[in-house]
């Protein structure tokens, strides 16, 4: 697993544009190398801002969007189209504006879909999607995502993996149902840390002073059970991309 690298941008707006630019470059390079690319999307404010910045980027169409596989790191287990779903956020901010191949968009199940209101069935179904995905390495049950975008919570959660939760202790399954989630809504589907760690690159993107403690703890190699975001590492690269407020500890010092 790669060591965490810190990238600081002055403001949240600049961060969104800079992550969009960085993402476009990685996707173009992946497609130049093998004709396709795969991206794991995240929910949350910061994740949404990056998608909007991608939509308006002048270089947007340097990517062949019909050859990108889109996945989600987590999803709120709600009815299809619910404004609180990360899929709804991604479609409105970006996907509805791109010439994507609908067959290459892989949302996590909604609570009113064919699987019914059963988050365990939804998690198992998503694990099947990953197991059959292109780009999966021999013997692996999860594809080597080119980039896994992740948000970070103030207490150090990432995706829907919260401190000392069943999800953070999961070592075998790649996708789990999450119940009684401290961040509403309470029921979610989430990739686990082993699934996240199958990624070539993991980018944790966060802004605001409220995240500074979590950023600092993770960059100081906090235990992943206490700070799940600390366990989100890519095989090739792990980037913590934050704004100045999230990079500065209350005493004004840098995170490390």
Ligand X SMILES: O=C(O)[C@H](O)[C@@H](O)[C@H](O)[C@H](O)COP(=O)(O)O
Please give the residue ranges that form the binding site for ligand X (CB under 6 A). 42-47, 74, 76, 86, 151-153, 158-159, 183
Q: How many residues does the chain have?
A: 256
Residue 195 tokens, joined:
């699934």
The radius of gyration of the chain from alpha carbons, rounded to an integer in Å, stands at 17
Nearer to ligand X (CB atom), residue 76 or residue 91: 76
Residue 188 tokens, joined:
């979610």
For residue 103, give the DSSP letter.
Answer: G
Q: Report the alpha-carbon distance of residue 237 to residue 174 in Å, rounded.
A: 20
CB of 213 to ligand X, least distance (A): 13
Q: What is the β-pairing status of strands 74-76 and 237-243?
A: unpaired
Nearer to ligand X (CB atom), residue 55 or residue 136: 55
Nearer to ligand X (CB atom), residue 36 or residue 179: 179
Q: What is the β-pairing status of strands 188-191 and 175-178?
A: antiparallel
CB of 157 to ligand X, least distance (A): 6
Instruction: List the one residue out of 86, 84, 182 whose CA is nearest residue 126.
Output: 86
CB of 35 to ligand X, least distance (A): 29
DSSP, collapsed to helix, strand or coil, labels residue 136 as: strand
- Given a contact cutoff of 8 angstroms between Cβ atoms, the answer to whether 217 and 224 are in contact is no
- Given a contact cutoff of 8 angstroms between Cβ atoms, the answer to whether 133 and 174 are in contact is no
Q: Report the alpha-carbon distance of residue 149 to residue 179 in Å, rounded.
A: 22
- Given a contact cutoff of 8 angstroms between Cβ atoms, the answer to whether 198 and 144 are in contact is yes
Nearer to ligand X (CB atom), residue 83 or residue 99: 83
Closest residue to ligand X using C-beta atoms: 151
CB of 46 to ligand X, least distance (A): 4
Nearer to ligand X (CB atom), residue 132 or residue 210: 210
Q: Report the alpha-carbon distance of residue 189 to residue 171 in Å, rounded.
A: 16
CB of 237 to ligand X, least distance (A): 19
Nearer to ligand X (CB atom), residue 40 or residue 105: 40
Place of tokens 């100045």: 244
CB of 205 to ligand X, least distance (A): 8
Nearer to ligand X (CB atom), residue 104 or residue 211: 211
CB of 45 to ligand X, least distance (A): 3
């Amino acid at each position: 697993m790669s060591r965490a690298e810190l990238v600081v941008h002055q403001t949240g707006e600049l961060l969104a544009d800079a992550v969009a630019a960085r993402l476009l470059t990685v996707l173009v390079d992946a497609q130049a190398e093998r004709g396709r690319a795969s991206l794991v999307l995240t929910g949350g404010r910061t994740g949404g801002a990056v998608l909007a910045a991608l939509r308006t980027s002048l270089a947007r169409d340097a990517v062949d969007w019909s050859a990108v596989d889109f996945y989600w790191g987590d999803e709120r287990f709600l009815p299809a189209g619910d404004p609180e779903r990360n899929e709804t956020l991604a479609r409105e901010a970006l996907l509805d504006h791109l010439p994507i191949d609908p067959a290459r968009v892989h949302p996590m199940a909604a609570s009113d879909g064919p699987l019914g209101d059963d988050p365990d069935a939804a998690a198992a179904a998503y694990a099947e999607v990953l197991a059959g995905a292109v780009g999966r390495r021999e013997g692996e049950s999860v594809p080597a995502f080119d980039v896994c975008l992740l948000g970070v919570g103030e207490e150090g959660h990432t995706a829907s993996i919260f401190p000392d939760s069943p999800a953070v202790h999961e070592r075998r399954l790649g996708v789990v149902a999450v119940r009684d989630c401290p961040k509403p809504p309470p029921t979610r589907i989430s990739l686990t840390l082993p699934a996240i760690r199958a990624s070539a690159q993991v980018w944790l993107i966060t802004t605001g002073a409220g995240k500074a403690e979590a950023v600092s703890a993770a960059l100081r190699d906090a235990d992943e059970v206490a700070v799940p975001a600390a366990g989100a590492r890519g095989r090739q690269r792990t980037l913590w991309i934050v704004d100045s407020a999230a990079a500065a500890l209350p005493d004004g010092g840098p995170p490390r």
